[in-house]
């Protein structure tokens, strides 16, 4: 097997989905013995430029790039969009190959959660019971689903580096905590949110938006830009107020719109020299959208 950034690039069966953990492990065994660096990009597929930015970074930095493609039922709540989550594996495999991915791991649900599966990996406390994990909203079960599957992926792939998007800022904080707490030997790389030209954060769920909703959805990024500008000039409270006004003007009711310490997600009134995350979630038509901005001191 050939892999890596070699020039000229040598294609391996990049566009073939590997379904079993055993097959993936044996594909990685030789390279690992040779000491190549392995990058992992976990995704739920329906790839867009946000995913591709992670794949490209992995391609540049690692000898061998693994992309996982798995719509993880454990992170969807009852009544959420698991059954209609957009899927197009053929296109994903093509785009992954074009981005230079070496191996795509796309296991069936039964392979990840076989009969008798009973273990959960849970990051407790203030990282998972606020914002997206607020019990009155999506609930901490969402992150339990995320950390359980990401821990399994880390165990299966054994990556040196794993790539995540700042778009899911709370997910990043939770995964960093899990990696530290469980001594998982992986470096977490976080890349900036990739946006459409009009500011909308790219998301597989944008596919749910009809043209009018798509237009309204731009209010989220507009609100965050207003929040950042106003917060820098007049403080966080004014920033949040400015963001709220943008959302209201577009008829978008936020599920949450909050300023939090970027690392521990504690509520903050002012930045006090630490990075602050302003995060928003809102339903626009049939899509539940999230976005955030990181305000560095």
Least distance from C-beta 286 to ligand AMP, angstroms?
A: 16
- Counted residue by residue, the chain has a size of 297
Least distance from C-beta 169 to ligand AMP, angstroms?
A: 8
Backbone angles phi, psi at 255, to 5 degrees: -75, -45
Under the criterion CB under 6 A, does residue 202 sit at the interface with ligand AMP? yes
Under the criterion CB under 6 A, does residue 170 sit at the interface with ligand AMP? no
Under the criterion CB under 6 A, does residue 246 sit at the interface with ligand AMP? no
* Dihedral-angle region of residue 100 (phi above 0 means left; psi in -120 to 50 means alpha; beta otherwise): left
Under the criterion CB under 6 A, does residue 44 sit at the interface with ligand AMP? yes
What strands, in cross-sheet order, belong to the sheet with 38-43? 17-18, 103-105, 64-69, 38-43, 161-165, 187-191
Over the range 15-24, which residues count as b (16 or more CB within 10 Å of their CB) and which as e?
bebbeebeeb
Under the criterion CB under 6 A, does residue 148 sit at the interface with ligand AMP? no
Single residue of 168, 228, 246, 258 touching ligand AMP by CB under 6 A: 168
Q: 158: which 2 tokens? A: 């054994």
Rounded distance between C-alpha atoms, residue 242 and residue 228, angstroms = 9
Q: Which residues pair with 261 in a beta bridge?
A: 276
Under the criterion CB under 6 A, does residue 147 sit at the interface with ligand AMP? no
Under the criterion CB under 6 A, does residue 55 sit at the interface with ligand AMP? no
Rounded distance between C-alpha atoms, residue 227 and residue 295, angstroms = 10
Under the criterion CB under 6 A, does residue 203 sit at the interface with ligand AMP? yes
Nearer to ligand AMP, 44 or 153 (CB): 44
Q: 120: which 2 tokens? A: 């959960």
Under the criterion CB under 6 A, does residue 43 sit at the interface with ligand AMP? yes
Under the criterion CB under 6 A, does residue 68 sit at the interface with ligand AMP? no
Is 51 a residue of the active site?
A: yes
Residue nearest to ligand AMP (CB): 165
Choice among 42, 51, 218, 254 that is catalytic: 51
Under the criterion CB under 6 A, does residue 159 sit at the interface with ligand AMP? no
Q: Which residues pair with 226 in a beta bridge?
A: none
By CB under 6 A, which span of 18-26, 42-50, 111-119, 152-160 interacts with ligand AMP? 42-50
Nearer to ligand AMP, 196 or 241 (CB): 196
Backbone angles phi, psi at 74, to 5 degrees: -65, -15
Q: Which of residues 181-200 bind ligand AMP (CB under 6 A)?
A: 191, 193-194
Under the criterion CB under 6 A, does residue 143 sit at the interface with ligand AMP? no
Under the criterion CB under 6 A, does residue 152 sit at the interface with ligand AMP? no
- Where would I find the beta strands (DSSP E) of 36-154? 38-43, 64-69, 103-105
Rounded distance between C-alpha atoms, residue 119 and residue 155, angstroms = 14
Q: Which residues pair with 42 in a beta bridge?
A: 68
3-state helix, strand, coil split of the chain in percent (to 5) is 45, 20, 40
By CB under 6 A, which span of 100-108, 163-171, 209-217, 259-267 interacts with ligand AMP? 163-171
By CB under 6 A, which span of 43-51, 55-63, 77-85, 89-97 interacts with ligand AMP? 43-51
**Annotated catalytic sites, by residue?**
51
- The footprint of ligand AMP (CB under 6 A) covers 43-44, 50-51, 53-54, 164-165, 167-168, 191, 193-194, 201-204
């Amino acid at each position: 097997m050939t892999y890596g950034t070699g020039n000229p690039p040598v294609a391996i069966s990049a566009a073939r989905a590997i379904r079993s953990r055993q097959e993936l492990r044996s594909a990685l065994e030789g390279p690992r013995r040779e000491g190549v660096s392995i990058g992992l990009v976990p995704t739920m597929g329906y790839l867009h430029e946000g995913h591709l930015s992670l794949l490209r970074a992995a391609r540049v930095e690692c000898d061998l790039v693994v992309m996982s493609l798995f719509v993880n039922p454990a992170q969807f709540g009852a009544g959420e969009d698991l059954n209609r989550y957009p899927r197009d594996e053929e296109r994903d495999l093509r785009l992954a190959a074009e981005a230079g991915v070496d191996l795509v791991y796309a296991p069936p649900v039964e392979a990840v959660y076989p009969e008798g599966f009973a273990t959960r990996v849970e990051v407790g406390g203030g990282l998972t019971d606020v914002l997206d994990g607020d019990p009155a909203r999506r609930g901490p079960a969402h992150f339990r689903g995320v950390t359980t599957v990401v821990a399994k992926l880390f165990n299966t792939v054994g990556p040196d580096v794993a790539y995540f998007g700042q778009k899911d800022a709370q997910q990043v904080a939770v995964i960093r905590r899990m990696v530290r707490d469980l001594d998982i030997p992986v470096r977490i790389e976080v890349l900036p949110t990739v946006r459409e030209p009009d500011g909308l954060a790219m998301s597989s769920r944008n596919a749910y938006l009809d043209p009018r909703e798509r237009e309204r959805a731009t209010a989220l990024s507009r609100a965050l830009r207003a929040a950042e500008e106003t917060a820098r000039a007049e403080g966080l409270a004014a920033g949040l107020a400015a963001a709220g006004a943008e959302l209201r003007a577009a008829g978008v009711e936020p599920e949450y719109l909050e300023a939090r310490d970027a690392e521990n997600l504690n509520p903050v009134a002012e930045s006090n020299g630490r990075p602050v995350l302003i995060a928003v979630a809102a339903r626009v038509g049939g899509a539940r959208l999230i976005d955030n901005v990181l305000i560095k001191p």
